[in-house]
Each structure stands twice: as structure tokens, then as C-alpha cells.
Amino acid sequence: MYIAKPSNIIVIGVGHAGCEAALAAARMGLSVKIFAISLESIAMMPCNPNIGGTSKGHLVREIDALGGEMGKNIDKTYIQSKMLNLGKGPAVHSLRAQADKFKYSQEMKRTLENIPNLQIIQSEVIDILVENSEIAGVITASGAKYPAKTVIIATGTYLNARCIWGEVSTQTGPAGLSSSTKLRTSLEKAGIVMYRFKTGTPARIHAAGVDFSQMIEHKGDDEIVPFSFENTPESIARKQISCYLTHTNETTHDIIRANIHRSPMYSGEIDGTGTRYCPSIEDKVVRFGEKASHQVFIEPEGENTQELYISGMSTSLPEDVQIAMYASVKGLENAHIMRFGYAIEYDCIDATQLHPTLEFKAIAGLYSAGQFNGSSGYEEAAAQGLIAGINAAAKILGKPPLVIDRSEAYIGVMIDDLVTKGTKEPYRMMTSRAEYRLLLRQDNADLRLTPRGYGYLINDERYGRLLEKKRLIDDEIKRLRGLTVAPSPILSELLLHHNSTQISSGVKLADLIKRPELTYEILSVVDENRPSLPKDVTEQVNIAIKYEGYIAKQLFHVEQFKKLENRRLPDDIDYDDVGNLRMEARQKLNALRPANIGQASRITGVNPADVSNLLVYLEKRKLGGLS
């Protein structure tokens, strides 16, 4: 039996979580081995061919601000870029890019390959080695032993995966790749609680048979914004490819209704818990029977392929029904299906078994990330991978762990939701999950997080640039708050032109910027001494001044929030010793072992009185009244 030289970190899985985890750890200088059943699946997109979208776009910007890879990789391989929600406030502007999914995968593989201390190995991990509640390494299908100080599980949807469509089911992972069948037993033996989730994907069709003239064209933006703060629009400019919108109709729905008994979702063939966030077309037709049509977006899967992704029509109906169903959609009458849609069931965990660092509470040195933790989506996976990778490395390097809280980033909201509340269905990021949405914008992810990443993946040079940007923003805001503009013919004309109320005496320029109909840019003509500043700086200045009131309100809430987050709960606390806790709270607290009072207060079943009692107990301990 082969026993490998010990490595610092082992990553199981090469999906979006695994790649970020391995890159983060390797870039922090540690030796990393990353395992996959198939190396063809590196950063594969087995479902939709795009990155970003509402709130997910925020995640990608945040990953980039912390020194992760996803933003850079999509900037290299996008074929269409769009900023969503431009008609709404800056907090919910969201970037989304269509990817050339094949290139995306190749580029990520190239990036991994070019890091000397990162080894990519095609082999199935079937066992984790745990000694005295501490991880020791892994064993592969061939019996080889790979010792390691820390291990990160990122098996995505491959663990005991089963694909189902119609009456057919196969023991395979996504896109027909082999699944991982043995690891579950090992994890269960280690005491890890498993769940079974399901998701699904639509068919892919050949572009040749599609009549695009029957559909509405959706083009990319003329002025694009890169995902990575280290790119400029010019540096990544390229020709974009369009997507198209069409609709299902009553015929489509009739076909589905007539065959619904053959759907594995309805015949009881599937027992995994599905997600409301990605319903199949049969779900939509059954649940919203009154709707005469549903939107269908046709998205190219890449530049050098004829395959198209049919967004909005994910399905697990039998092949003959799929053929008839897709052909009933306007413009798809002659389309030829290249890959059939399917549902996929897989094993994942109850993420409340994890610390906010994504390390298992019960097994030191074992981390996990991505769909294995119960999330859905590439971006959610990548964000967790990055945090798990950084923390696994930090542990070995003796650095403090990186825990991002709910007031700092969508990443913080997501991880806190997963590890505090757990999830009963695949978890999707949504803007409405973030309490401090106005502060967590995609445009300021670098200001929020790059300083937090300093000392992990952010080097002196990038940190210095960020500080300089911040200085320019602060100085300019200060200048505008102090600058008074007097009434003048030029200003009067400007105000008239923008339907804005005239001023009769001098006002602060900052107060004019606050008016909804005016902006920092518009007022440049009455601001003679305005310094020449980069656009990313002036954008921040404009937002900070315009929405000052709302921002202040949210900052106040954040201040209150932080006070509870800063009250740490000791590791050795036994909640049976805490007097007056209600039974439910006691059980939940003993099971979840929250890191601080704030996290404890968010656990379902813990009420304010329980929290008060915890505080009193903590104080008693401090006084030495308890051992």
C-alpha cells in the first residue's frame, strides 16, 4: 500500500469550492493536494452557464476582494456581461456574466496547474482518517494513504449521486461522471450527520434547430464592469454573445400534465429534498396552474459549441416527454436535444455541525465547503471554499481564523445562516437574507473585505492600493461636505435642466448631491476645484453622500449587532449548568455550541430571556463563581 509524503492540506473535490480552497491554501504557502474522480470536472458548470446574478454577483465580488479566483476566471472567459437591477438602488445592482463553460473550466485548470506547491490528483477518496477527534489524512480507492494536517471536503453533488429522468436512474454524478459511493460510510462512522438533497437541470439543445427570430434577443451591456477589482473594463473587453427569451405555452403545459405521473418527482421515485429556488418546469406547471406561460431563456454554453442551455425548463420527465415538451416552445420546434434534463440526488451534511470557520466542531482539522454543506450554486460554493481554504491554512500557520460576520459581507450572511440555522433544502443566496443590504454592495466589496483579507491572500501592494483608494474617497467626501456653492446663473440653469428646486442662498455641495435628481457627476460644472479622480472613487463618493441617511441607520443597527457578536461563549461551556434555560434552548445550545452571544441569539428556539440568562451566567463565570 502506497503511503504518500504528508502534506499540509488535502482538498476532496475540484468543483468551485474545491478550486478556491486549494488555491487559497496553496497561495498562503502551504503544500496542497487536490483530489478528483475525474480531472475533466475541474470548475465544471454542470448546470447554468453563467456566474453571478442577484446577490450571487455580490458573492463573486467579495471572493475577489478577499483574493479568491472566481472573479478573475469569469473575467477571462465571459461571453456576455450584464449589470442587473440598474433601475434600483446601488445596493442591489448585481453583476452577471454568461460564461464559456468549457473555457471557464480550462482556465481554472491552468491556474491550478501553475501553482508549484499544488498537486492535482485523479483518484477517488473513500475514507477519512480521524485520530483522537482530529483529522489525519485520507485513503483513496486504490488503498493509498495520504496523511495531512487538514482536510477540506468539497464533494459537491457527487456523494452517492443518483441521476433520474423518467423511469431511468443511474448511479452517476452530474453530466454522467462517476459518483463517489464509499465516502459516506466513512463520514457517518466519524459521527457526521448526513442529509439527502436533490436538484435538477434542463436539457441542452443544438443551436442549428433553433429559430431565434421567434424570440426576443437579450444583449450584454455596452459598458461592462469586471468582476475582479484588479481588472479594468478595457483590459477584458471582448465581443459578446446574445441570449434569447421565449415562453412555454398551454400546449407545453398540457404535455407536462398528461405525463406528470411519469415524473420521478411525483411518482415517489425521489426522496431527496428539492429546492424552491430551482423548481422544475413540471413543478411550476403543477404549483402555478393558472399561469398560461413561463419564461424560457436560451443561453449559449460557449463560443465554440452549438450547445444551448434552456433556462427555466429544468426537468426530470422521461425522454419522449422532454422531446415533445421542448418542441412545443416557440422557436424550439425543430430543436434537437443533445443532453437530456435530469434530477440529481446527493448526500450533504447538516451544516450546523460546523464552526463559522467551516471546520467541523467534532473533528479538528476537518473542513467542508460548497454543496456538501447544503448550499446550491457555483458562487455559494466558491465563497465557502475560499473561507475553508483560508482557515485550514491559517490553522496550520498559527494565524487567527478568518470569520466574516453578517454585517461585513454576503459571505458572512450565508455562512452564518448555514452554520447557525442549517438548511432543510439547498440554500441559495438572496439579497433579502442580508439585514444590512445597503452596506453590502457589490461596488464596495473591496473596501469592505480587502482589509480583512490582508495577511491571508491580500499582499502589501494590493492592500496599499486599497488604502489609497479609501483615502481619496474620504478626502473628497470631506471636501464636498465643507464646500458651499452660491446661487449662480450656471447653477440655476443646471437645476432648471434637471427639474430641481432653485436655491436662494449658498448650500453645501454635498446637500445638492443628495437630491434624487442630481448626482456628483452632474454637479461638476459648479465645482471648479474638483480634483481629477478615478471613476471607482467618485462612484463611492456619490453613493456615500446620496444615501447618507439610510447608511447611517444601518450602521447604527450594525453597531448594536456587533456588541452581541463580541461577547464570546467559551468552548467548554456546558449549557446544562446554565440555570433557567428553557429545555429547547438548552438542547439547541448544547448541540450547536455557538461562538458568541450574537450567534446564540439567532438560533431558532433560543429567545431573548434565554440570552439574558446566558449573559448572567457568563458574568458569574467571570467572577469565579463557577468552576
Shortest CB 324 distance to other proteins, Å = 22
Q: Which is nearer to other proteins, 18 or 377 (CB)?
A: 377
Please choose, out of 132-140, 326-334, 529-537, 552-560, the segment that lies near other proteins by the rule CB under 8 A.
552-560
Contacts of 194 by beta carbon, 8 Å cutoff, 6+ apart = 184, 187, 188, 347, 348, 349, 350
Shortest CB 377 distance to other proteins, Å = 10
Asked whether the beta carbons of 151 and 128 are under 8 A apart, the reply is yes
**Coil vs helix vs strand at 188:** helix
Q: Which is nearer to other proteins, 314 or 375 (CB)?
A: 314
Shortest CB 580 distance to other proteins, Å = 4
Length in residues, the chain = 627
Asked whether position 563 contacts other proteins by CB under 8 A, the answer is yes
Q: Which is nearer to other proteins, 78 or 617 (CB)?
A: 617
The one among 48, 228, 263, 391 contacting other proteins by CB under 8 A: 48
Dihedrals phi, psi of 258, to nearest 5 degrees: -65, -20
Cα-based angle 503, 507, 509 (whole degrees, multiple of 5) = 115
Asked whether position 84 contacts other proteins by CB under 8 A, the answer is yes
| Angle, in degrees to the nearest 10, between helices 70-77 and 378-397 | 140
Q: What DSSP string describes 445-472?
A: HHHHHHHHHBTTTB-HHHHHHHHHHHHH
Amino acid identity at 436: Y
Contacts of 269 by beta carbon, 8 Å cutoff, 6+ apart = 164, 169
Burial environment of residue 549 by CB neighbours within 10 A (0 to 12, 13 to 18, 19 or more): exposed
Asked whether position 517 contacts other proteins by CB under 8 A, the answer is yes
SS (H, E, C) 139-179: EECCCCEEEEEEEEECCCCCECCEEEECCEEECECHHHCEC
The one among 4, 38, 85, 196 contacting other proteins by CB under 8 A: 85
Q: Which is nearer to other proteins, 206 or 421 (CB)?
A: 421
Q: Which residue has the cell 449589470?
A: 83
Asked whether position 488 contacts other proteins by CB under 8 A, the answer is no
Dihedrals phi, psi of 230, to nearest 5 degrees: -95, 0
**Site map for other proteins, 310-329, x if CB under 8 A?**
-xx-x---------------
Shortest CB 589 distance to other proteins, Å = 15
| Angle, in degrees to the nearest 10, between helices 16-27 and 378-397 | 30
Shortest CB 564 distance to other proteins, Å = 7
Binders of other proteins in range 258-297 (CB under 8 A): 276-279, 284, 287-288, 291, 294-295, 297
Asked whether position 548 contacts other proteins by CB under 8 A, the answer is no
Shortest CB 178 distance to other proteins, Å = 26
The one among 557, 568, 576, 591 contacting other proteins by CB under 8 A: 557
**Site map for other proteins, 403-442, x if CB under 8 A?**
---------------------------xxxx-x-xx----
Q: Which is nearer to other proteins, 362 or 615 (CB)?
A: 615
Cα-Cα-Cα-Cα dihedral of 275, 278, 281, 284, to 10°? Answer: 60
Number of residues that bind other proteins (CB under 8 A): 61
| Angle, in degrees to the nearest 10, between helices 608-622 and 583-592 | 60
Shortest CB 34 distance to other proteins, Å = 29
Shortest CB 540 distance to other proteins, Å = 17
Q: Which is nearer to other proteins, 279 or 389 (CB)?
A: 279
**How far is Cα 225 from Cα 19, in angstroms, rounded to an integer?**
24
Q: Which is nearer to other proteins, 15 or 341 (CB)?
A: 341
Q: Which is nearer to other proteins, 432 or 627 (CB)?
A: 432
CA distance between the termini of the chain: 49
Q: Which is nearer to other proteins, 27 or 82 (CB)?
A: 82
Asked whether position 115 contacts other proteins by CB under 8 A, the answer is no
Please choose, out of 31-39, 140-148, 462-470, 551-559, the segment that lies near other proteins by the rule CB under 8 A.
551-559
Shortest CB 312 distance to other proteins, Å = 6
Please choose, out of 12-20, 176-184, 458-466, 557-565, the segment that lies near other proteins by the rule CB under 8 A.
557-565
Burial environment of residue 361 by CB neighbours within 10 A (0 to 12, 13 to 18, 19 or more): middle
Shortest CB 338 distance to other proteins, Å = 19
Asked whether position 599 contacts other proteins by CB under 8 A, the answer is no
**How far is Cα 418 from Cα 387, in angstroms, rounded to an integer?**
13
State how far the alpha carbon of 67 is from the alpha carbons of 7, 45, 143, 450, in Å.
23, 22, 36, 8
Ramachandran assignment for 355, one of left (phi > 0), alpha (psi -120 to 50 degrees), beta (any other): beta
Q: Which is nearer to other proteins, 435 or 511 (CB)?
A: 435
Shortest CB 307 distance to other proteins, Å = 16
Shortest CB 611 distance to other proteins, Å = 6
Shortest CB 516 distance to other proteins, Å = 4
**Site map for other proteins, 343-362, x if CB under 8 A?**
--------------------
Sign of CA dihedral 207, 211, 214, 220: positive
SS (H, E, C) 281-336: HHHHHHHCCCCCCCEEEEEECCCCCCEEEEECCCCCCCHHHHHHHHHCCCCCCCCC
Asked whether position 625 contacts other proteins by CB under 8 A, the answer is yes
Contacts of 408 by beta carbon, 8 Å cutoff, 6+ apart = 440, 448, 449, 452
**How far is Cα 240 from Cα 221, in angstroms, rounded to an integer?**
9
**How far is Cα 311 from Cα 87, in angstroms, rounded to an integer?**
23
The one among 550, 555, 577, 591 contacting other proteins by CB under 8 A: 550
Half-sphere exposure of 265 (CA within 13 A, CB side): 25
Buried b / exposed e over 167-202, threshold 16 CB at 10 Å, is: eebeebbbbebebbbebbebbeebebeebbbbbbbb
Q: Which is nearer to other proteins, 208 or 552 (CB)?
A: 552
**Coil vs helix vs strand at 350:** coil
Asked whether position 564 contacts other proteins by CB under 8 A, the answer is yes
Please choose, out of 332-340, 450-458, 468-476, 618-626, the segment that lies near other proteins by the rule CB under 8 A.
618-626
Please choose, out of 112-120, 392-400, 473-481, 576-584, the segment that lies near other proteins by the rule CB under 8 A.
576-584
Asked whether position 395 contacts other proteins by CB under 8 A, the answer is no
Interface residues with other proteins (CB under 8 A) are 47-48, 54-55, 84-85, 88-89, 91-92, 94, 276-279, 284, 287-288, 291, 294-295, 297, 311-312, 314, 430-433, 435, 437-438, 516-517, 547, 550, 553-554, 557, 560, 563-564, 567, 579-580, 582, 601-602, 604, 608-609, 611-613, 615-617, 619-620, 623, 625
